[in-house]
A = this chain, B = another copy of it.
Amino acid sequence: MTALPAVALTNDLLLRALRSEPVERPPVWMMRQAGRYLPEYRAVRAKSDFLTMCRTPELAVEVTLQPLHLVGVDAAIIFSDILVVPEAMGMKLTLDEGIGPQFPVPVRTATDIARLRKVDPQESLGYVLDALRLARHEIGNRVPLIGFAGAPWTLAAYMIEGKGTKQFALAKRLLFEQPAVAHALLDHLATAVGDYMVAQVEAGAQVLQLFESWAGALGPREFRTFCLPYLARIAKRVQSTGAPLIVFAPGAGWALGEIADATNAEAIGVDWHTTPQTARQLTQARTVALQGNLDPCALYAAPAKIRQRTHEMISAFGPIGHIANLGHGILPDIPPAHARAFVDAVKEWRWTDEALARSANHAQRAGAP
């Protein structure tokens, strides 16, 4: 399998923003945009469970495309789940309504870890690659297609706990009690995630996002020891493909600059705890785009207020290197009209030539050696 030929996209705003090129307005998409807040998604979901949707390319692609038509976002992100990678290692994954994803047989010891399978993405994650190929075919050259994976610490935390928890105390216990065992697991995961992301690019993903969803469970020292080096390793693999990478580590706003330095990613996700101003300060003098960061709960507000908050956010991030998004996934009970109010507010924005010129000069100065 080789990468699909590069084509000129009709809407290449996301790719231009990822290169920190001047754009007339920021591109916009939403984390979990193919999700339960859309009645059209719930209609598909009513007929098959979540994991079946992930494993059936036609269903995955159907919901992947929905927000393009229904909400008008500037990019599609393939419908899938970060836990497909541990599943490909041989862990049984269940997903019961109201309980969330679970591994009934968690990984807790060196023996458990040694038993995990090496992942060949073509073989055990072929259904995601098929979905990417089909989605890319369906989307044509309208907008970019984003692939994604969970980062090693987040996957390890789920695998050790067996489920999402409040404090991930079992997973952290392993880091503090048996750091070498923890590193063995993280190493195994980093290899699998790297291979998987490369395979996603070959199958048609034009942008990749790495989700370190549980970064906030680690203090600075553990983040630097058990998280950052593995993000860097995967980023290097992705960069060998030429596809741009977005790294999102919610709950570790303090680390934005360190993540940018360690990964050289084209963009860093910003959660809603961190102001755009702080995010820019932490990453200044680096050529890196920032993605985010409206509080998903702000979409509970009336559309006029959503519009105002969205414009304030765009203005605060500034004209160069910003991808408009939420600061976390969209919540399932948000009215679709409110999601559209957010997207529309971004799409009506226009940077003036003057603002763009001012920012380009500034970026040039900051980027100078």
Instruction: Spell out A's residues near B (CB within 8 Å).
Output: 164, 166-167, 169, 172-173, 175-177, 216, 219-220, 222, 251, 253-254, 272-275, 278, 295, 297-298, 300-302, 305, 327, 331, 333
Least distance between A175 CB and chain B CB atoms (Å): 8
Query: Across chains A and B, which 7 residue pairs bring their CB atoms closest together, nearest first?
Result: A172-B297, A176-B300, A176-B301, A173-B300, A219-B272, A219-B295, A177-B300
Q: List 5 A-B contacts (CB under 8 A).
A: A169-B333, A172-B295, A173-B297, A176-B305, A253-B254
Least distance between A216 CB and chain B CB atoms (Å): 7
| Cβ-defined partner of A169 (8 Å) among B167, B169, B254, B331 | B331
Question: Considering the chains assembled together, what is the distance between the CA atoms of A222 and B278 in angstroms?
Answer: 16
Least distance between A160 CB and chain B CB atoms (Å): 13
Least distance between A55 CB and chain B CB atoms (Å): 26
Does A219 contact B300, Cβ atoms closer than 8 Å?
no
Question: Considering the chains assembled together, what is the distance between the CA atoms of A216 and B167 in angstroms?
Answer: 14
B residues less than 8 Å from A176 (CB atoms): 297-298, 300-301, 305
B residues less than 8 Å from A274 (CB atoms): 254
B residues less than 8 Å from A278 (CB atoms): 254
Within the oligomer, what is the number of copies of this chain? 2
B residues less than 8 Å from A251 (CB atoms): 273
Does A220 contact B275, Cβ atoms closer than 8 Å?
yes
Does B273 contact A169, Cβ atoms closer than 8 Å?
no
Question: Considering the chains assembled together, what is the distance between the CA atoms of A167 and B213 in angstroms?
Answer: 14
B residues less than 8 Å from A220 (CB atoms): 273, 275
B residues less than 8 Å from A298 (CB atoms): 176
B residues less than 8 Å from A333 (CB atoms): 169
B residues less than 8 Å from A301 (CB atoms): 176-177
Q: Name the residue in A169, A176, A327, A331 with the highest tally of chain B Cβ atoms < 10 Å from its Cβ.
A: A176
Least distance between A336 CB and chain B CB atoms (Å): 16
B residues less than 8 Å from A331 (CB atoms): 167, 169
Least distance between A224 CB and chain B CB atoms (Å): 11
Question: Considering the chains assembled together, what is the distance between the CA atoms of A301 and B176 in angstroms?
Answer: 5
Which residue of B is nearest A306, CB measured?
A: B176
Known: A164-B166, A254-B278. 19 other contacts (CB 8 A): A166-B166, A167-B297, A169-B333, A172-B295, A172-B300, A173-B300, A175-B297, A176-B301, A177-B301, A177-B302, A216-B273, A219-B272, A219-B273, A219-B327, A220-B273, A251-B273, A253-B254, A254-B273, A254-B274
B residues less than 8 Å from A297 (CB atoms): 167, 169, 172-173, 175-176
Least distance between A304 CB and chain B CB atoms (Å): 13
Least distance between A190 CB and chain B CB atoms (Å): 22
Which residue of B is nearest A252, CB measured?
A: B273
Does B222 contact A295, Cβ atoms closer than 8 Å?
yes
Least distance between A165 CB and chain B CB atoms (Å): 10
B residues less than 8 Å from A327 (CB atoms): 219
Which residue of B is nearest A305, CB measured?
A: B176
Question: Considering the chains assembled together, what is the distance between the CA atoms of A220 and B273 in angstroms?
Answer: 6
B residues less than 8 Å from A275 (CB atoms): 220
Which residue of B is nearest A220, CB measured?
A: B275
Which residue of B is nearest A295, CB measured?
A: B219
B residues less than 8 Å from A300 (CB atoms): 172-173, 176-177
Q: Name the residue in A219, A274, A331 with the highest tally of chain B Cβ atoms < 10 Å from its Cβ.
A: A219
